[in-house]
């Protein structure tokens, strides 16, 4: 099932938006303009773009720590202000959480972004409640949680899949298997290197997909989301992919593995080849898309840099709803 060319080009642009966002962010991080820690989603753009394409603002997704891209995409697509994700990462008052969340805690329910949790995958439990509420209200929404392969090691993985299964909750598990959890190879950290093997016992559809082929990822997400909206209960998708970012200390993976994923399996390059083969679009047309997106990201970075810092007095606000008096 081939995608129509307009959709494919849109996804190409989305993937570039994610990559340009991360490249720009990395540059600013190295300059010391972005505080804290930085985990980027470069290499995993097809997975994120496919999810973003099918999740509506009325659905929800719990993004993982490599999800600046999907956060920005959702923010831009549904609200037209992707720059507020950038501003959040810069710790500015104009950010989606006014600088209280940062890279690992950005949320905006109006675009379906229910917030990352830097205790990896804690929202495997939270997603159940959103799904339960929608099930009780008979709303055909999808509650998605995005989890890394390493995160599957948590006990909540079992609790969540089990409860979603017994209650037939509308949960989409999007497992981004990029081969490693920091330095731990997936096959060493789990009883199976294929996470679908671990999920199968819970009786939901478990599908493994090439996370670097945008057409395949897009089609599988569509199937999963349709199934969930139809009331068939939870669905588990495992995206096989690879992250370009090594360790904070540098690259630790074999040179040939790095070359293979960056050159042969780059999701953007693969999409570009596909578009070239299926349409009359020229390399120059695609280069122009890339340049436009890079330019857009630079304006976001400027917006973030020129935004005010939060008022320090806000640091103790909103600890309690209704203040200390608990009104």
Partner 1 sequence: MSATTVRTRTFVQALNEALDISLARDPNVYLLGEDIAEMGGDFGVTRGLWAKYGAERVRDTPLSEAAIIGTAVGSAMVGLRPVAEIMFADFLGECYDQLVNNAAKMHYMFDGQFKASIVVRTACGGGFGGGPHHSQSVEGWFLNVPGMVIVAPATPADAKGLLLASIENDNPILFLEHKALYRLKGEVPEGHYTTPLRKAAIARPGKDVTVVATMKMVHEALAAASELEQEGIDVEVIDLRTIRPYDAETVLASVHKTGRAVVANEAPKLGGLAAELSATISEECFRALKAPVVRVAGLDAPIPFSLVLETYILPGKKQVVEGIRSVLRA
Ligand X SMILES: Cc1ncc(C[n+]2csc(CCOP(=O)(O)OP(=O)(O)O)c2C)c(N)n1
Q: Which residues contact partner 1 (rule: CB under 8 A)?
A: 96-98, 100-101, 105, 107-109, 114-115, 117, 119, 122-134, 136, 143, 155-156, 159-160, 162-163, 166, 318-322, 324-326
Q: By CB under 6 A, name the one of 47, 48, 113, 178 that touches ligand X.
A: 178
Task: Determine if 243 is a binding residue for ligand X (CB under 6 A).
Answer: yes
Q: How far is the CB of 124 from partner 1 (least distance, A)?
A: 7
- For 202-217, b/e burial (b = at least 16 CB within 10 A) is bebbbbbbbbbbbbbb
Q: How far is CA 94 from the centre of its chain?
A: 22
Of 67, 78, 72, 102, nearest in space to 88 by CA:
102
By a kind-dependent CB cut-off of 5 to 8 A, residue 182 interacts, out of ligand X, partner 1, Mg ion, none, with: ligand X
* CA 31 to the chain's CA centroid: 25
Q: Which of 16, 61, 173, 180 binds ligand X (CB under 6 A)?
A: 180
Contact 78, 112 (CB under 8 A): yes
The Cα–Cα gap between 316 and 166 comes to 41
The nearer residue to partner 1, 1 or 319, going by C-beta atoms, is 319
**63 is an interface residue for Mg ion by CB under 5 A:** no
3 state DSSP class of 174: strand
Q: Which residue is nearest to ligand X (CB)?
A: 148
Residue 181 within binding range of ligand X, rule CB under 6 A: yes
Tell me the C-alpha distance between 165 and 176, whole Å: 20
**Shortest distance in whole angstroms from residue 60 CB to partner 1:** 8
In the complex, least distance from residue 159 CB atom to ligand X, rounded to whole angstroms: 14
Q: Which residues pair with 235 in a beta bridge?
A: 172
Number of residues that bind Mg ion (CB under 5 A): 5
- Alpha helix (H) ranges present in 33-153? 45-54, 68-79, 83-89, 123-136
Two tokens, residue 222: 């569509």
CB 185 to Mg ion: min, Å: 9
Q: Which is nearer to partner 1, 132 or 258 (CB)?
A: 132
Q: How far is the CB of 149 from ligand X (least distance, A)?
A: 4
Percent helix, strand, coil in the chain (nearest 5)? 50, 10, 40
Task: Specify the stretch interacting with ligand X by CB under 6 A; choose among 22-30, 45-53, 136-144, 180-188.
Answer: 180-188
Q: Give backbone dihedrals phi and psi of 36, rounded to 5 degrees, phi first.
A: 85, -140
Dihedral angle over CA of 191, 192, 196, 202, nearest 10: -20
> Please, what is the minimum distance in Å from the beta carbon of residue 180 to ligand X?
5
**Interface residues toward ligand X, by CB under 6 A:** 39, 65-66, 118-120, 148-151, 176, 178, 180-182, 243
Contact positions toward Mg ion, by CB under 5 A?
Answer: 148-150, 178, 181
């Amino acid at each position: 099932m081939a995608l129509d060319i307009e959709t494919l080009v849109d996804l190409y642009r989305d993937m570039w938006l994610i990559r340009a966002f991360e490249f720009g962010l990395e540059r600013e991080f190295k300059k010391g303009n972005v505080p804290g820690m930085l985990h980027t989603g470069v290499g995993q753009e097809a997975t994120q773009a496919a999810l973003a394409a099918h999740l509506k603002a009325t659905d929800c997704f719990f993004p993982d720590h490599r999800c600046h891209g999907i956060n920005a995409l959702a923010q831009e697509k549904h609200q037209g202000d992707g720059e507020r994700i950038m501003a959040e990462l810069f710790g500015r008052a104009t950010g989606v959480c006014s600088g209280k969340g940062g890279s690992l805690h950005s949320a905006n329910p109006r675009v379906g972004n229910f917030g990352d949790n830097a205790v990896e995958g804690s929202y495997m439990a939270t997603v159940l409640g959103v799904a339960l509420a929608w099930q009780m209200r008979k709303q055909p929404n999808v509650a998605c949680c995005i989890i890394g392969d390493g995160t599957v090691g948590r006990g909540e993985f079992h609790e969540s899949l089990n409860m979603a299964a017994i209650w037939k909750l509308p949960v989409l598990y999007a497992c981004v298997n990029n081969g490693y959890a920091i330095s731990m190879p997936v096959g060493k950290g789990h009883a199976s290197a294929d996470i679908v093997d671990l999920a199968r016992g819970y009786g939901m559809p478990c599908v493994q997909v090439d996370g670097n082929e945008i057409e395949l990822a897009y089609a599988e997400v569509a199937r999963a989301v349709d199934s969930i909206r139809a009331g068939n209960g939870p669905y588990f998708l495992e995206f096989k992919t690879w992250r370009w970012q090594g360790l904070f200390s540098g690259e630790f993976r074999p040179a040939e593995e790095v070359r293979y994923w960056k050159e042969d399996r780059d999701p953007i390059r693969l999409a570009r080849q596909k578009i070239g083969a299926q349409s009359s679009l020229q390399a120059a047309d695609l280069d122009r898309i890339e340049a436009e997106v890079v330019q857009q990201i630079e304006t976001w970075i400027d917006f973030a840099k020129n935004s005010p810092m939060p008022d320090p007095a806000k640091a103790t606000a909103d600890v309690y709803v209704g203040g200390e008096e608990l009104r």
